[in-house]
A and B are shown apart, each in its own frame.
Chain A
């Protein structure tokens, strides 16, 4: 499904690097909306004895869930796709108001070899939407930089209460190929 990963250094194990970082930061609640780019990470989370994968019906649920998790003493991370960021906008207001550590990992669509035009508008504004909402944006464009970007993102989110989104670029994930 995810063919055309063109970069030579795009190893397949970057989701495992993400999982390892989340484990090291003692992340316990992992709300997600099912997404092909996150499928390997979701599998790791669902197989973990310390993390709880929590499927959502819409991404904004995850923002509110993480506010409650922090109030109860647990860290979490929200997994979603760029189109889901648009579903979160009002709920993102909870983050500066309640000042809880917010980390989200966003698989990008609509920015690199996209086939589906309907993915392009939200994919093009994802970073702007986050920045207007007070969320810092970091990006990982290839597998080699995933560990360092994740480390930086988790550190500033959990240690400095700096809301952070990591955009996992479509180039990293591979453009979705539709075959007849």
Chain B
């Protein structure tokens, strides 16, 4: 399964968040949320532990509410496949401040490594493009990841989508808080919203 020269997921996420400034980062259910945690806990991290398939739509809701803020969804191929229709919904709304990066290891790593549809048939970049997301990139080098990370800060040119081929190695689980109310209220607080 594992192919040579594929990117390391932790390196990819570290590069995506290295110079994040005001970015709100939303993880997908599973390893991508751990990767975001491993890159460093942050008041603007949205860790997803459930609601599989919802990461991109959480990103859309947030991006529409805060159009000047860069919003970056970092999710996995399995999570993105479950919410594939959301790519069409996002393309229709054209949130210029929303970016989606899929960490594609072609497998369901959290549940035993079963092959995902991207391993043999589904092309998420093609799907995103066909849904109407013009800036949809296939990424295979760290330099391309860094260029994408820079583009995330341009809140006038999205939405953008990147499918990053990563290796399927299992890495140490770095666990974030699982308290959803805390996660949401911490982001809201950082954006200047008071508790109700």
With A54-B89, A61-B83, A97-B181 as known contacts, state yes or no: A71 contacts B52, CB within 8 Å: no
In the bound assembly, the distance between CA atoms of A68 and B55 in angstroms comes to 9
Residues of chain A having any CB pair with chain B under 8 Å: 28-29, 52, 54-58, 60-74, 76, 90-91, 93-94, 97-100, 159, 161
**10 shortest interchain CB distances as A-B pairs:** A68-B61, A72-B65, A57-B85, A64-B54, A64-B57, A69-B61, A68-B58, A97-B180, A68-B62, A74-B65
User: Cβ of B196 < 8 Å from any Cβ of A?
Assistant: yes
Residues of B within 8 A of A99 (CB): 180-181, 184
Residues of B within 8 A of A28 (CB): 65
With A73-B66, A73-B188, A74-B64 as known contacts, state yes or no: A55 contacts B53, CB within 8 Å: no
Where chain B touches its partner, the secondary structure class is helix
Interfacial residues of chain B within 82-130, with CB under 8 A of chain A in the complex: 83, 85-86, 88-89, 92-93
Residues of chain B having any CB pair with chain A under 8 Å: 24, 26, 46, 49-55, 57-66, 69, 83, 85-86, 88-89, 92-93, 180-181, 183-184, 187-188, 191, 193, 196
Question: Is A71 in contact with B58, judged by CB distance below 8 angstroms?
Answer: yes
Set A29, A55, A93: member contacting B61, Cβ < 8 A: A29
Question: Is A61 in contact with B183, judged by CB distance below 8 angstroms?
Answer: no
Given A67-B54, A73-B188, A94-B51, 11 more A-B residue pairs with CB atoms under 8 Å apart are A29-B65, A58-B85, A61-B85, A71-B46, A71-B61, A91-B51, A91-B53, A93-B50, A94-B50, A98-B184, A161-B196
